[in-house]
Chain A
Amino acid sequence: MDFDYNPSELMAAAGAREIKDREVVAVGLGLPVVASFLAKQTHAPNMTMLFELGVIDPEPVHAGVGLADPRVWHRAKVLSSFVDILGSILHKGRVDVGFLGGLETDQYGNLNTTLVGDPRGKFRHMVGSGGANDIASSAKRTIIIMRHDARKLKKTISFVTSPGYVTGGDSRAKAGMSGGPSRVITDKAIFGFHPETKQMMVISIHPGNTIEDVVGTMGFAPVVPKKVPFTEPPEKEQLRIIREVIDPRKMYMG
């Protein structure tokens, strides 16, 4: 089957659709940046975009190498601080959506960005939390974007950097947090979470995949409803904006 889009573009478009107009969105690196700009330039012109270091609503004209690149801050409406963005906006409870990526996630949407291996034995240290733990703890909902691979979607992850539904059921609420992950978007499927057990649950599978392709490449068994629709492919206009406006040099989607 031939498609006129690649899996990253579908993931960005699916991420963008999760954002409603007027929502406040905390954004991390990579694909979430593309998804957020895409939402802002299509159906959510009144959304507010936050970067942890103290940046609100930038309008970059060049792609950056990360949040520390002034290219990403260009034409911002506010340039301030961690305490301003992560404190008085996020911790205060004003962030509707947080976008997160990671090395590994488990069936409850707990995320690891800290290390791979055995934390008490031999391991490789990676990047750690940054603002990810703060966003996972205080946003009204989070959207996880990740490659679909059994080494990333694991039964047990090496380290819980950012909490999802912790050990399932009401364990997240018991730890003092509301919110939690609402979606996991991979390059094969979109998942939600079961309302009671909080286990990951297939919502839709991307065109060209079978349910076996999706479930067979995961380290745990997700909840699979009787009928699973295909994910809506990206629209022509979404693809044009991704390719021509947001990421013409393929720095995010490469």
Chain B
Amino acid sequence: MDKLTTLAEAVASIPSGSHVALPGFPITRCAMAFAREVIRQGIKGLTLSQCVGAMDADMLVGGGAVVRLICGGGSLDKFGRLNCVNRGIEDGTLQAEEYSSLSVAFRYLAGSLGLPFMPIRSLQGSDLIRQIKERTGSDVADITDPFTGDNWLVLKPLLPDVSIQVVHTADAEGNAWIMGPRWDNVEQAKASKRTILIAEHVVSTEMIRQQAEKTVIPGLLVSHVVELPFSAHPTSCYREYDYDAKEIEKYVKATSTPESFKAYLDEYVYGVKDHWGYLEKVGGLKHLNTLKADPILGY
């Protein structure tokens, strides 16, 4: 089945208030074009989840699209912190449920396997678990191992309405290849009701069949396939393009106050019609070509 569509149509399939699993890891393979389109379309009230909070989540929070964030902390690596997320946590406008990387990954894993809960050794003896119990009450519990009698903390599965995946290669049906580390992406796709793929390259199903061992997301999980180059810009996409240090620095500076971020959104999100307009705005093909990855190094 051909699921090829535009980014605007794929994003329009997400109702306000949905739970969206985001694919980024601090400054790599973030769903940036997706985040910009969600903000342009005025979608609100989202719950976001990802193992480590990344630039895609920060932009969506700063753009006013998010009420709730489930993650294991996050940053923009050495470029800075998640200023919009942190501001939301500090002033109480964002409901943040903070775990660790593995506890969010295990919640997706439980969801992906159809299990009712997942035991974990993490979080014990920390303020993270105290805070999660205070804030959610129902997403964690203590049980007794029926075989040994030991006490275990168990986590409720995460079942997002939709996962967004920025992938290297996919066919029109949504069979997808991801190069490099995949952090939580595969478990996210399998735990979610459906997945929207944003692919750097769309190829024929015959091409996928030739190297099917590379397929990490099967097409049966996918509702929409969008072909969009540089969709993670200014973050990186391994073996495709490097991160754009100057544009990330600009973002970090802009997010330091709500006022300066509003100006940033006016220029880079509302001020352009779509992703193609954004790519022109940041320098077009001439600039983007300087970010192309070296085939040996991958960056």
Separation of A130 and B128 alpha carbons in the complex (Å): 12
Closest residue of chain B to A65 (Cβ to Cβ) is B78
A74 adjacent to chain B (CB < 8 Å): yes
Is B246 an interface residue when CB atoms closer than 8 A count as contact? no
Bound-state Cα–Cα, A53 to B152, Å: 25
Q: How many residues of A contact B (CB 8 A)?
A: 54
* Closest residue of B by beta carbon distance from A122: B90
B297 on the interface (CB 8 Å rule)? yes
Partner of A70, one of B79, B103, B151, B299: B299
Inter-chain contacts of A159 with B (CB < 8 A): 127
Which residues of A sit under 8 angstroms from B238, Cβ to Cβ?
Answer: 70, 73
Contacting residues, chain B, for A119 (C-beta < 8 A)? 127, 131
Q: Is A138 an interface residue (CB 8 A)?
A: yes
> Least Cβ distance of B248 to chain A in Å?
9
CA distance A198 to B207 in the complex (A): 59
Q: Are B27 and A69 in contact (CB under 8 A)?
A: yes
A80 at the interface (CB under 8 A from B): yes
Does B122 make an interface contact (CB < 8 A)? yes
Contact with B along A66-84 (1 / 0, CB 8 A): 1111110110000111110
Chain A residues 106-147 with CB under 8 Å of chain B are 113-114, 119, 123-134, 137-138
Task: Give min CB distance, A133 to chain B, whole Å.
Answer: 4
Q: Is the CB of B109 within 8 A of A130?
A: no
Q: Known: A65-B78, A68-B25, A82-B102. Contact between A129 and B90, CB under 8 A?
A: no
Nearest CB of B to A196, in Å? 18
Interface class of chain A by DSSP: loop
Closest A residue by C-beta to B51: A82
| CB-CB under 8 A for A114 and B27, given A128-B98, A130-B52, A134-B100 | no
Let me know if A127 and B28 touch, CB within 8 A. Answer: no
Which of A38-46, A86-94, A199-207, A226-234 makes up part of the contact surface?
A86-94
Asked if B52 contacts A137 (CB within 8 A), the reply is no
In the assembled complex, B114 has its CB within 8 A of some CB on chain A? no
- State whether A131 touches B101 (Cβ < 8 A): yes
The distance in angstroms between the C-alpha atoms of A36 and B238, with both chains bound, is 24
- In the bound complex, how far is the Cα of B100 from the Cα of A52, in angstroms? 11
Q: What's the least CB distance linking A13 to chain B, in Å?
A: 23
Mark contacts of B83-100 with chain A using CB atoms, 8 A cut-off: 1 yes-contact digit, 0 otherwise.
001100110000000111
User: Which residue of B71, B103, B181 contacts A134 across the interface (Cβ within 8 Å)?
Assistant: B103
Beta-carbon contact of B183 and A86 below 8 Å: no
Q: Which of A31-59 contact B (CB under 8 A)?
A: 52-55
B125 A166 Cβ-Cβ under 8 A: yes
Q: Determine if A128 and B182 form an interchain contact, defined as CB atoms under 8 angstroms apart.
A: no
Query: Does B257 interact with chain A (Cβ within 8 Å)?
Result: no
Q: A70-B236, A159-B127 are in contact. Are A87 and B106 (CB under 8 A)?
A: yes
Task: Check if A161 sits within 8 Å of B127, measured CB to CB.
Answer: yes
Interface residues on B, range: 35 or more
Residues in chain A near residue B54, CB distance under 8 A: 68
Does chain B have a CB within 8 A of A188? no
- Closest Cβ–Cβ distance, residue B142 to chain A (whole Å): 10
Digitize B167-202: 1 where CB-to-A-CB distance is under 8 Å, 0 elsewhere. Answer: 000000000000011111111000000000000000
Contacts of A69 in B (CB 8 A): 27-28, 77, 236, 243, 299
> What's the Cα separation between A53 and B105 when bound, in Å?
11
Are B73's CB and A113's CB within 8 A?
A: yes
Q: Does A208 contact B (CB under 8 A)?
A: no
Q: With A91-B121, A137-B124, A161-B126 as known contacts, state yes or no: A129 contacts B298, CB within 8 Å.
A: no
Question: Which of B26, B79, B102 interacts with A90 by CB under 8 Å?
Answer: B102
Least CB distance, B213 to chain A, in whole angstroms: 14
Is A162 part of the contact surface with B, judged by Cβ < 8 Å?
Answer: yes
- Given A80-B182, A113-B73, A138-B121, A74-B126 contact (CB < 8 Å): no
Which A residue sits closest to B79, measured CB to CB?
Answer: A65
A129 contacts B81, CB within 8 Å?
Answer: no
Instruction: Decide: A82 near B127, CB < 8 A? Known: A66-B26, A128-B72, A130-B72.
Output: no
Q: Which residues of A contact B28 (CB under 8 A)?
A: 68-70
- Report the nearest A residue to B96, measured CB to CB: A125
Q: Which interface residue of B99, B123, B151 has the most chain A CB atoms within 10 A?
A: B123
Q: B121 to A52, Cβ gap below 8 A?
A: no
CB-CB nearest 5 A-B residue pairs: A128-B73, A66-B77, A54-B181, A133-B100, A68-B26
Extra contacts besides A86-B102, A86-B105, A128-B74 (5): CB < 8 Å: A68-B235, A124-B86, A125-B81, A131-B72, A133-B122
